[in-house]
Amino acid sequence: MLGVCLFTGCDDRRTTDSGGEQSATEAPLVKAPSFNPDSAYAFVEKQVSFGPRVPNTKPHVQCGDYLIAKLKEYGAAVTVQSFVATAFDGSKLQSRNIIASINPAAPKRILLAAHWDTRPFADQDSTNQNKPIDGASDGASGVAVLLEIARSMQADSAKPGTGVDLILFDSEDYGIPEGQESEDASKVWYCLGSQYWAANKHKPNYAAYYGILLDMVGGKNAKFAKEAMSMQFAGSIMNKVWQLGNRLGYGAYFVNVDSPGITDDHIFVNQTAKIPTIDIIEYNADGDDYFGTYWHTHGDNMSVIDRKTLKAVGQTVLQTVYQEE
């Protein structure tokens, strides 16, 4: 995952909603299934066990097959969107976007997304910079939350009336390394999977009411701020999610703080696919590292993953889905 965005107007617009504050007119909370943090942690661990999920490698193929099988096991209608992405260095990346639809006949749909590939080099580390990273939080944590959401929704006797599409984007983290320059500065070399999907949706005329992207949602003591591009494109959705998180008791995670805009998969879902989408992503307001010190280093391993953070994010997103009924 990426860097601070350079899009014009990153901080220009804000909605007037009171994110994080409860109103006397708020609707009662709908009963949603309990998100199991132990199960989500095991999903992170399983992905990491394959090894770095870098395109064109055996662990990448094995993990993709596992994710497809799991989503089918949980009753989702799965579509695999295979494509070949061209990386910054000209490499041809054998890639798969994995789309799992729950309640596919429902006309009203919510898109939940994460990326499942990992960084092929540790360019933010001081050692072994040319070796790939585990991507426990940056990649696996968001996928794990979506898997547990799929599992818990299948197990719940009261299904949500809203349809849910889980999209696991591939080739997100194969961007140009720190300190290198691209021959074509007009292209965004990150987020290749979401760029492809946004321009080639898995279903003609596919649309969703809104989307929620999860990226780096497993770190210990993580905080999630209101990222500027999310606020620009989907501020009312972001404020609604933050309000629900606070109502559920997760205010220590969903903080009412603005953060600079970043380039992530939500940009292309917003701009190209025209689906208002927010990004729930760790923000380190107290240091020079926007995403935390483990970002794009070998420190992004199971030691940074915390069940409490997975629970806060997963339960909030589940509540958001069920609240749409």
208, pLDDT greater than 60: yes
As a whole number, mean pLDDT of residues 18-37 equals 75
11, pLDDT greater than 50: no
As a whole number, mean pLDDT of residues 59-68 equals 98
122, pLDDT greater than 60: yes
- The pLDDT > 70 percentage for the chain reads 91
pLDDT, tens digit, 9 for 90 and up, residues 250-292:
999 999 999 999 999 999 999 999 999 999 999 998 877 899 8
- 235 Cβ contact list (under 8 Å, min separation 6): 13, 14, 15, 17
Determine the Cα angle at 115 with ends 160 and 17, to 5°.
Answer: 55
Instruction: Give the residue from 200, 215, 324 showing the smallest Cα distance to 268.
Output: 200
As a whole number, mean pLDDT of residues 61-67 equals 98
Work out the pLDDT band at 26, boundaries 50, 70, 90.
confident
DSSP code for 95: E
* Domain at 37-323: CATH code: 3.40.630.10
pLDDT on residue 1: 57
Q: Which DSSP string corresponds to 189-250?
A: -S-HHHHHHHHS-SSTT---SEEEEEES--BTT--EEEEHHHHHHHHHHHHHHHHHHHHTT-
Please tell me which residue, 182 or 140, carries the higher pLDDT value: 140
**Backbone torsion region of residue 9, taken as left when φ is above 0, otherwise alpha when ψ lies between -120 and 50, otherwise beta:** left
pLDDT on residue 184: 75
pLDDT on residue 285: 86
Q: Could you give the CA distance from residue 151 to residue 72 in angstroms, rounded to a whole number?
A: 10
pLDDT, tens digit, 9 for 90 and up, residues 136-167:
999 999 999 999 999 999 999 888 889 999 99
As a whole number, mean pLDDT of residues 52-80 equals 98
User: What's the 3-state SS for 182-201?
Assistant: CCCCCCCCCCHHHHHHHHCC
76, pLDDT greater than 60: yes
- 230 Cβ contact list (under 8 Å, min separation 6): 237, 238, 266, 277, 278, 279
pLDDT on residue 7: 45
320, pLDDT greater than 50: yes
Average pLDDT, the chain: 92
Q: Which DSSP string corresponds to 21-40?
A: ---TTPPPPPP-PPP-HHHH
pLDDT, tens digit, 9 for 90 and up, residues 220-229:
999 999 999 9
As a whole number, mean pLDDT of residues 34-43 equals 98
Lowest mean pLDDT among 42-51, 160-169, 178-187, 295-304: 178-187
- 167 Cβ contact list (under 8 Å, min separation 6): 97, 98, 99, 100, 111, 112, 113, 197
Q: Could you give the CA distance from residue 144 to residue 146 in angstroms, rounded to a whole number?
A: 5
Work out the pLDDT band at 25, boundaries 50, 70, 90.
low
pLDDT, tens digit, 9 for 90 and up, residues 93-107:
999 999 999 999 999
As a whole number, mean pLDDT of residues 230-257 equals 98
Q: Could you give the CA distance from residue 116 to residue 313 in angstroms, rounded to a whole number?
A: 17
